[in-house]
Amino acid sequence: MTTVFKFGGASVKDADAIRHLTPLIEAHKERPLVVVISAMGKTTNALEALLADARDDSRGEDYRERFASLKASHREVADALFGDDADSLKARLDTLFDELDEQHRRHRDSPYPEHYDQTVCYGELLSTTLVAEWLNRQGVETEWLDARELIITDGQHQNANLDWSATTDAIRKRAGGDDRVLLTQGFIGGTPGGVSTTLGREGSDFSAAIFAHCLDAAEVVIWKDVPGLFNADPRRFDNAVQLKRLSYAETIELAWHGAKVIHPKTLGPLKQKAIPLTVRSFETPEAPPSVIDADTRFDAEHPSCILRDDQVLLEVKPKDFSFMDEPRQHDILGRLVENGVHANLIDGGAMQITLCCDNKPERLESLIESLKDDYEVTRQDELTLLTVRYPCQGMLDALSEGRETLAERRNATTTQRLFRTEECPETWHLPD
């Protein structure tokens, strides 16, 4: 049966990281093995910055510098991996960079989301070109597949919707029953007409789940720079503990509330086919991983904390002093939908609705403009939202000590509290 491996940006960030993939892939003997790979390191951020330069007439020099630096960093990895024998690979990388440059010229007046997808997709095309060459030269027989011909989507750029039936057909035709390693890109897809699309930032996890679903895979393994899923981001909480077993449903909750370790869309396709997801460390592959499946018994074993920074609090009150009844709520939530704004916390009172949103300036400003016609809107910036799953009161008190709670929402399993970021610690500590 098929296994799907996914390697994120950190696991292919440089030549050493790429060298490190070989033993991880060789240790897994069963075939087919589908390997889904992200762009190297922070390449996607760099491509987004390049896009901003490309669309601004006054930043031609910045564009050229950034383009040259991206090209040089990929060529350097080719040199580090292959030394004197890197010329043919570097020629292929150069061709991809020429295409990227051409796409920027062609799309500079296209709508931003379309321009985004035609250019930001090159991060994954470049990384997989390098990795496929490396594996083949290491004797790991690898076939490079263009995910834009396999992950078939509509044309909703930057957040494309999958055509499951066309995708299943395309993937089964190309990727089923092969005994080679099949290497492809995360994050990217294409329309039936061959226009590139993307699935949303951090979408490579979702790509891995799509391949697994379509091929009825036995398992998906996501390789990370952490040994598995923790009950809080180990970079921000000094005593986070690993969750060794978790259900699909609980993992969706954590991801949905902002745990930036797995894309929330990943779990649905796996749950439907009961395909287990293993999260393990590419640095210490022997360490016990986290396993996510249908078993819910361990979900409430440890409380989990999730932080979201750069939050904005909006308090919305009707101008005519009327109640915040269902038609009003419907109207306000409708305006969120129209402006593409997601609320991470929604709370209501008789004459007020409280919303907490990510700070996406353009969308928020157009939402506020639209609300201001009928409502009084106040806005507060630079806030941090803390979400706790399965909290006890003592824990909430300890986590909130010394800072004012500006908004709160609570149900049987989850409490959310909003704080001023300046009042929050640099490193958090989970109370005993």
Binding site for Mg ion (CB under 5 A): 8, 202
Contact map string, positions 104 to 123, toward ligand ASP, x by CB under 6 A: -------------------x
Contact (CB, 8 A) for 304 and 399:
no
Check if the beta carbon of residue 183 is closer than 8 Å to that of residue 35: yes
Kindly state the smallest distance separating residue 116's Cβ from Mg ion, in Å.
Answer: 17
**Calpha distance 373→316 (Å, rounded):** 12
Binding flag, residue 184, ligand ASP (CB under 6 A):
no
With beta carbons less than 8 A apart as the criterion, state whether 383 and 360 touch.
Answer: no
Binding-site string for ligand ADP from residue 182 to residue 221, where x marks contact by CB under 6 A and - marks none: --------------------x-------------------
- The answer to the question of residue 8 lying near ligand ASP (CB under 6 A) is yes
Contact 357, 311 (CB under 8 A): yes
Stretch that binds ligand ASP, among 37-45, 48-56, 208-216, 316-324 (CB under 6 A): 37-45
Of 123 and 318, which CB lies nearer to ligand ADP in the complex structure?
Answer: 123
Q: Does 233 participate in binding ligand ADP (rule CB under 6 A)? A: yes
Residues 2, 4, 5, 9: which binds ligand ADP (CB under 6 A)? 9
Q: According to the binding rule CB under 6 A, does residue 266 interact with ligand ASP?
A: no
| CB nearer Mg ion, residue 132 or residue 262 | 262
Give the C-alpha separation, 177 to 193, whole Å.
27
Binding residues for ligand ADP restricted to 49-78, rule: CB under 6 A: none
The number of residues that bind ligand ASP (CB under 6 A) is: 12
The crossing angle, in degrees rounded to 10, of helices 326-338 and 361-372 is 140
Q: Does position 44 bind ligand ASP by CB under 6 A?
A: yes
Q: Is 38 in the site for ligand ASP (CB under 6 A)?
A: yes
Q: How far is the CB of 38 from ligand ADP (least distance, A)?
A: 6
Q: Is 416 exposed, middle or buried (0-12, 13-18, 19+ CB in 10 A)?
A: buried
Q: Binding to ligand ASP by residue 41, rule CB under 6 A?
A: no
Q: Which is nearer to ligand ASP, 3 or 38 (CB)?
A: 38
Residue with tokens 């949303």: 200
Binding flag, residue 229, ligand ADP (CB under 6 A): yes
Of 227 and 391, CB closest to Mg ion: 227
Question: Which member of 82, 230, 248, 375 binds ligand ADP (CB under 6 A)?
Answer: 230
By CB under 6 A, the count of residues binding ligand ADP is 18
Give yes or no for a contact between 190 and 148, defined as CB atoms under 8 angstroms apart: yes
Assess 174 for contact with ligand ASP (CB under 6 A): no
Decide: 80 and 15 in contact? Cβ < 8 Å. yes
The one of Mg ion, ligand ADP, ligand ASP, none whose footprint includes residue 44, by CB under 5 to 8 A per kind, is ligand ASP
39 binds, among ligand ADP, ligand ASP, Mg ion, none (CB under 5 to 8 A by kind): ligand ASP
Query: Which of 8, 203, 269, 303 is in the footprint of ligand ADP by CB under 6 A?
Result: 8
Q: What is the DSSP annotation of 396-427?
A: HHHHHTTS---EEEE-SSEEEEEEEGGGS-SS
For 41-63, give one letter per residue: b (16+ CB within 10 A) or e: bebbebbebbbebbbeeebeeeb
| Residue (262 or 356) nearer to ligand ASP, CB | 262
**Closest to 188 measured CA to CA, from 35, 27, 36:** 36
Nearer to ligand ADP, 147 or 364 (CB): 147
201 binds ligand ASP (CB under 6 A): yes
What are the distances in angstroms from CA 56 to CA 52, 53, 202, 281, 365? 7, 5, 26, 40, 21
177 and 138 in contact (C-beta within 8 Å)? Answer: no
153 binds ligand ASP (CB under 6 A): no
Q: Where are the alpha helices (DSSP H) in 257-392?
A: 267-272, 326-338, 361-372
Least Å distance between CB 221 and ligand ASP?
A: 15
Phi, psi of 387 (to 5 degrees): -115, 130
6 within 8 A of 186, measured Cβ to Cβ = yes
Residue 359 and residue 313 in contact, taking contact as beta carbons nearer than 8 Å: no
Question: Which residue type, as a one-letter code, is found at position 184?
Answer: T
Binding site for ligand ASP (CB under 6 A): 8-9, 38-39, 44, 123, 186-187, 201-204
Binding site for ligand ADP (CB under 6 A): 8-11, 38, 202, 224-226, 229-230, 232-235, 259-261
